[in-house]
Structures are given as structure tokens and as C-alpha cells.
Amino acid sequence: MKISRYLLVGAVIASSAVGLAPASAAPATSWRLDLSQPSEDSTNITTDGSVRLGSEANRAASVETSLRTGIAVYPRSLPTPANTFAATARSTVPAGAELAVDVRGRMPDGQWTEWAEIRPDAAGVLPVAAKDVEVRAMLSAPDGVASPSLSSLTVTPSSSARAPSSRAADAGLTYKVFATREGLVGGTTANGHVIVARDHFVALPSRRGLSGKGAGDYSVRVCADNGRCEWAPTWDVGPWNTRDDYWSPPDVRQEWKDLPQGKPESQAANQDGYHGGKDQFGRKVANPAGIDLADGTFWDGLKLTDNSWVTVTYQWTGSDPAGYVRTAGEPLNARTEPNSASAIVGMAANYAQVRVECEATGEEITGTQGTTNLWYRLAAGKFVSAAYVSGGGEATAC
């Protein structure tokens, strides 16, 4: 083991903690996180003197590498908006384990930016300056490897040239990728969700788009060639990779920056022999999957019978008014018209973020958000009742 001044990702960097500047020597705007006080969004960690993996079964289930994971989140309200964040840390990371620190900020419309990684050689840079931010420490270790340990973390915010925005007009960035069925019922995902039969969520191969447990800040719209769509939260990491935010512009993509935007590394490896045909773990890539679908999303939402190419829209990159599905647990049906008698053409999972194209008057429905005759159109010919959607109220009339 080596004690590092920096945050380690993927390998142990031989860097001594000797000479680490004390918190009192840091600029006045810096703050030293109280690691013993993570938010309720945190999962599978212990904070007895330092942050370490807990004893729960959280894993990047979709990656299938027995990778135990833990997440510690620390909110902060800054006196002055900032978009650039550097950090110093004291950590111990065994060979094979990982420790990463990310930051995100709340945008003017109330939504969150993607998580931006703070690396030893580069600050985390957001596309907007934000006052309300969250810092996230992500810890992982394969079975048989001791947990990484984070004993101190000081973050320094500032302003600089902003990162390119991943936001797009309307619903968000859209790419066609290969989808596989995750399954793994009874397993626990990277964010601590226990997978149930006919579950509704997805996995993407980067932690930048990972939602917290029971949250949908990072959700997707997945549409099959049969015309059905499902809106579902991202609750796991994979398939194949964990550092491939392929939907991002090349200059902010975590890895594989020479690939075209929208092309997963797994697809390039499988189809073109990229990276020797292997993923980041050195495994031979057997299929080009860029998204994994939980059973309910696969079978019920999209009515798929086999792995398939699908069209994915990354909802957090959109600019249409955002809403969040709130049901008693079951997914919300999407219908061809704003009434419950019209055909079902998809589903919106509980917790999912949806982008509202417009609103229409239709059948009066009573749901978790009250009684209303408003319906939201989420895509052409796909309506959901506003009685089950929190937010979305700034939509224009259809």
C-alpha cells in the first residue's frame, strides 16, 4: 500500500503524503470536508476516522467483476459561484482498489450538472458556475482486496474557462447503442439498489451518470424499433466499462477521447478491434453493448425478446422542462393520447427524470401529485398524466 496525497483512480500512484499542505495554509475559499457527516444519499460506507467501504453487497452489478462499491456525498453551499474544483487528500489505496472524487453543481433551472472528476493532474470543471455543489467520494475494490481509505479531503473552488456543455436542445443528446438485459435479480447495484424481479432501471458505463439510490437525476429515455419507449433512472454502472461516458464531447470524455461522440468503447472494441478488442479490465468484449436494461425495462417497458439496438436519450442533457415520476412503486404507463383509454406505448419508471415537450388537457386523473386533467407529452404520441409527475409545470401547451 502507498499513502497518497492525491485521489487515486484505477491504480496506485507512488506519491508521498509528506508535504501535504495543512488546511490552514489553503486559500480562504477552501474547505476541509467533515468526512464523518456524509449526506443521506451515501451508501455502503463507514466513517470511523476515515471513509471506507461498508459491509453491504453494493456492486457495479452490470460489470460482473465482483467490484464492491461505496458512495459518500457531501453537499456544500458556496459564498460565491464557482465552476472549477481542485482537491488535496490523504488516502490509502491498495493495489486493485479505486478511489475517485467527483463534483457537481446545481444549474439555474434547478437540475444538476453531470459529475465531474477531480484528478491528481486536473481540476474538476463544470459547464456552469454554481453555488450549491456536492462532492462525492466513490470507493471500490474487488473481492479479496482491502477497502481504500480516505482520511482527509480539502476542496478549493475557483472560476476558470468552463467545460463544454453536454446539454442539448429539447429532450437531450440521443444516440443509437446496443442494449443487453441485466437480470441479476437479488443482486445489489453500484448505488445500493437491490434488484427485484421485473425491475425498472438502466446501467451506463460511467459513474458520471449514476443516480443516487431512490433518485433519478440521471435518467434515460430508451426507445426500441417497435415504437415503445421507457424512461428509467440510471442505478448501475456498466456494461463492460466504468469510465466510458461516451455521450460526452471528446474533450471532456473520461477515457477513449479519440472515439466519436456517441460511440461506446465496447462497440468500438467489438466491431473494430479498438483497444485490442478489450474493455478497461482487459476482458475480450463479446458484444457492443453501451447500456444494460433491467428486466422490467427490457420485457415490459420495451417488449424486447432479445438484445437489441435501441435509441437512447440522456435526459439530464436536455433543456425541456424537467419532471420526476412519482408513483406508489409501479411504472407509469405512457399512452398515445391524454386519456387512460388510449393505447399503452411505453412506461416511465418511478423516480425517472422526464423532459416535458408540452402539456395537453385530457382525462382527469387522481395520483400522487393530486387531481388534474393535465397530461404531459414526453415524446411524439406518448403522454403521461401530470398527476404522477413532480415538476414539469413550465411546459407550453401542445
End-to-end CA distance of the chain: 60
User: Rounded to whole angstroms, what are the CA distances from 142 to 102, 117, 254?
Assistant: 21, 21, 21
Given 90, 124, 158, which residue is the final one in a domain?
158
CATH assignment of the domain containing 58: 2.60.120
Measure CA 66 to chain center: 20
Residues 7 and 154 in one domain: yes
Q: Do 263 and 309 fall within a single domain? A: yes
165 lies in a domain?
no
Q: b or e along 253-265 (b: 16 or more beta carbons within 10 Å of the residue's beta carbon)? A: bbbbeebeebbbb
**pLDDT tens digits for range 61-93:** 777 667 889 999 999 999 999 999 999 999 999
User: Does a structural domain hold residue 339?
Assistant: yes
In this structure, the answer to whether residues 217 and 342 fall within a common structural domain is no
Helices (H), the chain: 265-272, 295
Range of the domain at 104: 2-19+27-158
8-state DSSP, 329: S
> Domain check: are 344 and 375 in the same one?
yes
Q: Are residues 230 and 342 in the same domain?
A: no
**Is residue 233 in a domain?**
yes
CATH code for the domain of 242: 2.40.40.10
Amino acid at 19: G
CA angle 188, 191, 196 (to 5 degrees): 40
Query: How many domains is the chain built from?
Result: 3
DSSP state of 25: G
Tens-binned pLDDT, residue by residue, of the chain (398 aa): 223 333 444 333 323 232 233 333 344 589 999 999 999 989 999 998 899 999 988 887 777 667 889 999 999 999 999 999 999 999 999 999 999 999 999 999 999 999 999 998 899 999 999 999 999 999 999 889 999 999 999 999 999 887 767 666 688 999 999 999 998 899 899 999 999 999 999 999 999 999 999 999 999 999 999 999 999 999 999 999 999 999 999 988 999 999 999 999 999 999 999 999 999 999 999 999 999 999 999 999 999 999 999 999 999 999 999 999 999 999 999 999 999 999 999 999 999 999 999 999 999 999 999 999 999 999 999 999 999 999 987 899 99
Picking from 309, 308, 298, the residue whose alpha carbon sits closest to that of residue 262 is 309
Asked whether residue 282 is domain-assigned, the answer is yes
Sheet harboring 389-391: ordered strands across?
353-355, 322-325, 389-391
Q: CATH no. for residue 360?
A: 2.30.30
List CB contacts of 271: < 8 A, sequence separation 6 or more: 288
The three cell numbers of residue 281 are 479490465
Domain final residue pick, 158, 185, 214 = 158
